[in-house]
Amino acid sequence: MDLEPVPDMPALRVKGAGGWMVVADLHVGIEAQLRRSGFNLPSQMPKMTAALESLSGKARNLMILGDLKHRIPSVSHREDMELRELLSRMLAAYKRVVLVAGNHDGGIASALPDGCEALSSRGTVVGDVGLFHGHVWPSDDVMAADTVVMAHIHPAVLMVDSLGTRSSEKCWVRAAFSKDKVMGRYRSCPGQLVVVPAFNPLLTGTPVNSDTGSILGPLFKNGFVETGSMKVHLLDGTYIDHPDRLSMPRRR
């Protein structure tokens, strides 16, 4: 089954089985938290909704791979309205709309309209691709797939020039699994891991080349992913073979 990143967008097309568009980490409602910190930013809902609707021509089904909402653990009144509007429009644009629960999605059931499917945070399988959010251990079925797709870490690449100017860009990550580690817990080892960047425009991401030891989720924290094998593409397709070799700022 083919995986195809959508050019210039943090969205992954999974071909076959009717076709799936996979996005993650929308964090609807994050603007409210940012306002409490002094940042008065407009809602990203119109932009994200329009982008998701535009993607419906490329796949019949939509999978949101966790962290649809931002507030933990409940859903605010405003979030409830925004989520219902977003999902109702997605149900009109796609044949199926599926949410794989993320760590921010507690209490979201009351905001899901009829027709929107909610799946376990341990993930699901489409063809030979296993998909889960990334904050808990994936299921045996997910880890039996040829390729595993996750989100959660909001991957980005931090680039620093000789003058110390920083530029952070969202990216796609491909990496290999540590077979010995995986086989100590699961019955089989997938061929590769693909990490989806955050869909919300406000989330620039966590640099995967700054400190791989700080990458979130049990697969990374427990050494199940060979971080030295990571290869990344920026959203525009620019390929970076070894992100760990990029220039980084020196500590003073």
* Residue in 190, 149, 107 with CA at minimum distance from that of residue 21: 149
pLDDT of residue 204: 79
Looking at domain 3-245, its CATH class is: alpha beta
pLDDT of residue 252: 40
Cβ-based burial of 239 (10 A; exposed 0-12, middle 13-18, buried ≥19):
exposed
Give per-residue pLDDT as tens, 124-149: 999 999 999 999 999 999 999 999 99
pLDDT of residue 174: 94
Contact 235, 169 (CB under 8 A): yes
Contact 23, 196 (CB under 8 A): yes
Residue stretches of the chain with pLDDT short of 70 = 1, 17, 34-35, 37, 72-77, 211-213, 242-252
pLDDT of residue 245: 61
pLDDT of residue 83: 87
Alpha-carbon span 185 to 144, nearest angstrom: 12
Alpha-carbon span 201 to 161, nearest angstrom: 24
**How many CB atoms are closer than 10 A to CB 76?**
15
Please give, one letter per residue, the 3-state secondary structure of 119-164. ECCCCEEECCEEECCCCCCCCHHHHCCCEEEECCCCEEEEEECCCC
User: Is 0.75 topped by the overall pTM?
Assistant: yes
pLDDT of residue 67: 92
Give per-residue pLDDT as tens, 177-219: 999 999 999 999 999 999 999 999 988 778 888 766 678 899 9
Q: Which residues pair with 232 in a beta bridge?
A: 173, 240
pLDDT of residue 146: 96
Alpha-carbon span 70 to 224, nearest angstrom: 27
Alpha-carbon span 67 to 99, nearest angstrom: 9
pLDDT of residue 249: 45
**How many CB atoms are closer than 10 A to CB 176?**
17
Domains of the chain: which residue ranges?
3-245
pLDDT of residue 33: 72
Q: Strand order in 12-14's β-sheet?
A: 3-5, 12-14, 20-23, 61-64, 96-100, 116-119
pLDDT of residue 213: 61
